[in-house]
Amino acid sequence: MSDANLITVAEAPDVSGRSRSLAGDAWADLRRNKIFWISAVLVVVILLMAFVPSLFTSADPGACALSNKHKGPSGGAIFGYDFQGCDVFARTIYGTRASIEVGILSTLMAGLLGLIFGLSAGYFGGTTDAVLSRVTDIMLGVPFLLGAVVFSGRLSGSEDDGVWAVTLTLGVLTWTSAARVMRSSVIAVKSQDYVAAGRMLGASPGRLMFRHILPNSMASFIVVLTILLGTNIAAEATLSYLGVGLKGDAVSWGLQIAEAQDYARIAAHPLIWPSVFLAATVLAFIMLGDAIRDAFDPKLR
Amino acid sequence: MFRYIVRRLLQMILTFFGATFVVFALMFANQDDPIQALVGEKQASDSLRAALTERYHLDEGFLTQYWYYMKGLLTGDLGKSLTGRDISEMLADAWPVTIRLALLAVLIAAAIAVTTGVYAGIRRGGLFDNGTLLMTLLLLAMPIVVLAPLAQLVFAMELRWFPATTTKDATPYELLLPAIVLATTVIATQLRVTRTSVVENLRADYVRTARAKGLAPRRVTWVHVLRNSLIPVITLIGVDLGVLMSGAIVTEEVFNIPGVGFNLARGIRTEDGPLVVGFVSVLVIIFLVVNLAVDLLYAALDPRIRYE
Amino acid sequence: MTDIKATMDALPGLDHRAPLLQIDDLHVEFRTRDGVAKAVNGASFWLSPGETLAILGESGCGKSVTAQAIMGILESPPGHITAGEIRYRGVDLLKLPEVQRRKVRANRIAMIFQDALSALNPVYTVGFQLAELFRVHRGMSRSDARNRAVDLLDQVKIPGARSRVNDYPHQFSGGMRQRVMIAMALALDPEVLIADEPTTALDVTVQAQIMGLLAELQRQRNMGLILITHDMGVVADVADRISVMYAGRVVEEAPVHDIYARPGHPYTRALLESIPRLDLKGRQLNVIRGLPPALTDIPRGCAFNPRCRYAKDPCRQDPAPPAYAIAPHRTARCHFFREVLGE
């Protein structure tokens, strides 16, 4: 195999080409990646829908008239009306906000928990690592949706629309993957020469952690979080669908799907559109995560 | 091998107590009024309050509560649902159809994921590979709440290829569409892992040796590469079971399959706390046992672990 | 399937009087996204029964690629054989349909690899991997094939062969694993054995044992052995002839004693001078200046010219030096071989 190896070495860019940082290489790679651009544009549009829904529709998602019940698409409401006579397009657009809010907040929470757990387990090693890894194992011992059903069931008594309950549930139950990735990349970075050199030169643990280890562990961490954002949005919809997520007057794709499903035989459009938006949103974030990972870890392509 | 099994068993026991404790804590810990949590937004009558207090030993300390809860779990006594039915009996009634659904889903998923993954791995970078990658991306992006209702709408209601719902003793045909839906929740990851693993193994030196031995490409792939590539896929089965359980809740609800997931979904909707906690606890135990079995299977497949 | 001799005799152009193995002007290139790497650029050599030919060169000189081309196990893409012939007993292997080519592998030409741990399949017992040869190529029953596997392990002197046949590769020591590899290569009684750095990954004492075993088995079976190595010490002990490769070409070919006594190519000479020698202790070691060329960008003329102390203008111009016959049975691709020989 030595010859084959040599050939790759011979073809690798020369030293001057290598002086570009990993991040620089990754960005150059991303810029040429169509999937990255498609997902990035989708994400921007989704964020706009979430925070400035009035850009996309002038209709009021709360203004429903039973006389419009199950009417098909028309000039005013291009996706038609649902069983309560609400404008499906308007509700779908306004439903973006709940999904994105829950998705971002719960991912931030999971990310923070994962960062704390993973960083300390990886950095301190030994007993700390053993204990924290066992805790992670135990959390992984409860399949996500089962834990979420019990947990948000108990939080459900509250009067609000459930955004905080769902966020808390998702955050508490989904940090494990982030923690594992953080831990293993911290361990990998920690054993590298320049970190050992830093330690020998007397850099404090805090400085080592935040100046050397953290930045180098960030890439894979961000990838995991991007994908987690997508799956958490899907999870919110599932919880809402099952009746333990967002509730009451909340406008949410999961709720829309649950309501429309009972009438799918009569009118399919109220079921189809929120489904399409939900899938597209999840897809956008997963694709984005995939593209970033490919850029940072090109060897598996 | 013996040391490996013992170590895994010890870990399993720890995880077992940990995970059941987590479920229990999620339900009861730091709760102002645990009874209200069990019955949801309904008004709890005094007699119901008394019954639940006795059942969950709510008048005692938290750890004592957990102790009684564990005792009930291990002796198969799951108590009664708010509707007064025995939860163990409900489970016993619901199991058979769920197991059939899950097995069918697992078979479909494994068959498609492994064959497609291997071919995609062999033809890495080709049209088939890129097409498959795109498909898995789409599948990954399809939450079960999108997939199940849409599949029912398109394939059962519009095209009428399958029945939209199942009868009490569901036939394999009736279960086929739900099983496909359920399978899609795990196919994408299984396929990707198979593909990546095949790609990596095809580069391995032992593949060159196998070719130098004058073996046909088919034998090299399906005997030498496959066995090595399946090792990481096997470990996925454990994780996948959790995904399947979650998926079954929605799928059985959508297709009206009277299994465990269906009952659980009903329990969630009617805010039947005892039923939800009971079902979830049993599912968690099954999940852990299967994961242990998977680890042992993993050791059987990878001799390097067996002799560690 | 079972009668391998009949199958082999049916190979088109088979001539038992033709040389055992003859490689002629072999060219191999790797076409990758970043360009074309010319790994082998006109390698030629031959091998007779019972003879040991050492192919010597630094890593990247194309010796392993040549071996893989002979075996027909080049990864393709990216590897492509663009020109040349590989003849076994007169049969041009490159023109053979893949099905027949496969029969030649292991049956007539076998190979052992450098790192036996990664070259053996980790998830099958060595017994399975040995027996597989008999089952696939000879159609033997499971138990017969297994008995043959035990025999083979005995032949390569693995103690307790009958029980060890059920062990997995990682349960063997490095030396024992390489013995398993040798057993596997010899299973079907090949006439040519290619050993690609067979001892590089081993301890020095084990190296000697393995080389001894190889030499012994070779004598017993009158096999032709191609020994690929970068270790001039190993070569001196076992080889009959040496082909020195540089940048994908055989730059010098000679009987082993001649080459040690009087190298005919500056590269060979530099290689010899870079070996630490006890009698020259205390003097500075001559190392070869510079690096082997990148295979994507091989110098014009003689590929060695940028590192060569004899190089003059003709060396820097195409065509590359031809294979001068510098003595009986000796060739060197150097315009100034006389100076190098010290005449």
CB contact under 8 Å between A153 and B273, yes or no, is yes
Each residue's pLDDT expressed in tens, for chain A with a length of 301 residues: 333 333 333 333 333 334 456 667 777 778 888 888 998 999 999 898 888 887 777 777 777 766 666 666 666 666 677 767 777 888 888 888 888 999 999 999 999 999 999 888 888 888 888 888 888 888 888 888 888 888 776 665 555 677 888 888 899 888 988 898 888 888 877 777 777 777 777 777 777 777 777 777 777 888 888 889 888 988 888 888 888 878 767 788 888 888 888 777 777 778 888 888 888 998 898 888 888 887 776 544 4
pLDDT given at position A9: 31
* Beta strand spans in B135-209 (E): none
Domain span holding position B210 = 88-306
User: Between chains, do A141 and B16 touch, taking CB under 8 Å as contact?
Assistant: yes
- Does any domain span residue B79? no
C165 with C171: CB under 8 angstroms?
no
Report whether C121 contacts C129 (CB < 8 A). yes
Query: Could you tell me which residues come within 8 angstroms of residue B240 by beta carbon, excluding any fewer than 6 positions away?
Result: B106, B109, B186, B189, B190
Checking if the pLDDT of C93 tops 90, the result is no
Spell out which residues of chain C touch residue B220, defining contact as CB-CB under 8 Å.
none
Kindly state the percentage of chain C with pLDDT values over 70.
96
Q: Which of B213, B215, B302 sits opposite C123 (nearest CB)?
A: B302
Claim to verify: residue B167 and residue B277 sit in the same structural domain: yes
Shared domain check, B230 and B144: yes
Residue C296 at interface with chain A, using a CB cutoff of 8 Å: yes
- Please check whether residue B173 lies inside any domain of the structure: yes
DSSP sequence for B25-46 = HHHHTT-S-HHHHHHTTSPPPH
CA distance C277 to C149: 43
How big is the CA angle at B27 (ends A250 and B35), to the nearest 5 degrees?
90
Judge if B6 and B43 occupy the same domain. yes
What's the rounded Cα separation, in Å, for the pair A195 and A215? 12
Confidence of residue B33 (pLDDT cuts 50, 70, 90): low
Residue B83 placed within a domain: no
Enumerate residues 92 to 131 of chain B having a beta carbon within 8 A of any beta carbon in chain A.
Answer: 125
pLDDT band at B164 (very low <50, low <70, confident <90, very high): confident
* Mean predicted lDDT score pLDDT of chain C: 86
CB atoms within 10 A of CB B160: 9
Residue B225 and residue B195 share a domain: yes
Q: Count A/C contacts: CB-CB distance under 8 Å.
A: 41
- Tell me which of B19, B41, B74 is where a domain ends: B74
Cβ contact, residue pair B26, A145, below 8 Å:
no
Determine the pLDDT at residue A4: 33
- Flag whether pLDDT at C131 surpasses 90: yes
User: Got the DSSP string for A127-194?
Assistant: HHHHHHHHHHHHHHTS-HHHHHHHHHHHHTTSSS-SHHHHHHHHHHHSHHHHHHHHHHHHHHHHTSHH
Residue of A nearest to C62 (CA): A3
Nearest CA in chain A to B192: A300
Phi, psi of B161 (to 5 degrees): -80, -30
List all residues 6 or more positions away from A118 whose beta carbon is below 8 Å from its beta carbon. Answer: A178, A179, A180, A181, A182, A183, A186, A221
Mean pLDDT of chain B: 84
**Last-in-domain residue among B74, B103, B134:** B74
Residue B80 counted as domain residue: no
pLDDT-derived band at B104 (thresholds 50, 70, 90) equals: very high
- Shortest alpha-carbon distance between residue B302 and chain A (Å): 22
Residue B41 is predicted with a pLDDT of 66
Which chain C residue has the Cα nearest residue B301? C123
- Which of B74, B102, B123 marks a domain boundary? B74
A17 touching chain C per CB within 8 A: no
Q: Do B136 and B232 share a structural domain?
A: yes
Residue of B124, B197, B208, B213 for testing the chain C interface, max C β-carbons within 10 Å: B213
Q: Do A1 and C64 touch (CB under 8 A)?
A: yes
Give chain A positions within 8 Å (CB) of C67.
none
Q: Chain B window 273-292: which residues touch A at a Cβ cutoff of 8 Å?
A: 273, 276-277, 280, 283-284, 287-288, 291
What average pLDDT does the segment C327-335 reach?
A: 87
Residue B81 inside a domain? The answer is no
- What average pLDDT score do residues B196-218 get? 90
SS3 A65: coil
- Whether residue B113 sits in one domain with residue B55: no
Q: Which two tokens stand for residue C158?
A: 């693995």
Reference C105, options C115, C118, C116, C96; nearest CA is: C96
For residue A6, give how far its alpha carbon lies from the nearest alpha carbon of chain C (Å).
5
Contacts of A291 in chain B (CB under 8 A): none
Is the CB of residue B301 less than 8 Å away from at least one CB of chain C? yes
CA atoms within 13 A on the CB side of A189: 23
| B205/C170 touch (CB, cutoff 8 Å), yes or no | no
d(CA A227, CA A231): 6
Neighbouring CB atoms inside 10 A of B157's CB total 13
Residue C1 scores a pLDDT above 60: no
Domain identity same for B212 and B255:
yes
Contact A141 B291 (CB under 8 A): yes
- B58 and B97 fall within a common domain: no
CA distances (Å), B238 to each of A66, A88, A162, B140, B244, in order?
A: 48, 40, 31, 18, 10
Domains identified in chain B, total number: 2
Q: CATH number of the domain at B208, please.
A: 1.10.3720.10
Can you tell me the mean pLDDT for C76-90?
86
- Chain B closest CA to C89's CA: distance in Å? 19
Instruction: With H, G, I as helix, E, B as strand and everything else as coil, classify residue C40.
Output: strand
B185 shares a domain with B259:
yes
Check whether residue B10 and residue B102 sit in a common domain: no
Residue B19 vs residues A81, B187, C249: alpha-carbon distances, Å: 45, 27, 65
Q: What is the four-CA torsion angle of A74, A75, A77, A78, rounded to 10 degrees?
A: 80
- d(C-alpha B8, C-alpha C152), whole Å: 38
Q: State which residue of chain B sits closest to A286, comparing Cα positions.
A: B141
Nearest-CA residue of chain A relative to C35?
A11
Spatial neighbors of A205 by CB under 8 A, at least 6 apart, are A123
Range with the poorest average pLDDT among A212-226, B182-196, C133-147: A212-226
Sign of CA dihedral B210, B215, B220, B223: negative
Are B112 and B189 in a shared domain?
A: yes
Residues B123, B270, single domain; the answer is yes
Q: Sorting pLDDT into bands at 50, 70 and 90, what band is B191?
A: very high
Per-residue pLDDT of C224-252, as tens digits, reads: 999 998 887 778 878 899 999 988 889 99
Give the C-alpha separation, C105 to B214, whole Å.
5
Which chains reach chain C with 3 or more Cβ–Cβ distances below 8 angstroms? Answer: A, B
For testing contact with chain A, the best of B146, B181, B246 (most A CBs within 10 A): B146
| A6 has a chain C CB within 8 A of its CB | yes
Q: Which residues 182-221 in chain B show a CB within 8 A of chain C? A: 204-206, 208-216, 219
Judged by CB atoms closer than 8 Å, whether chains meet at C73 and B211 is answered as yes
C303 neighbors C246 (Cβ within 8 angstroms)? yes
Alpha helices in chain C (DSSP H): 4-9, 63-71, 98-107, 116-119, 126-138, 142-155, 161-164, 174-186, 204-221, 232-238, 256-261, 266-273, 337-341
Q: Is the pLDDT of residue C3 over 60?
A: yes
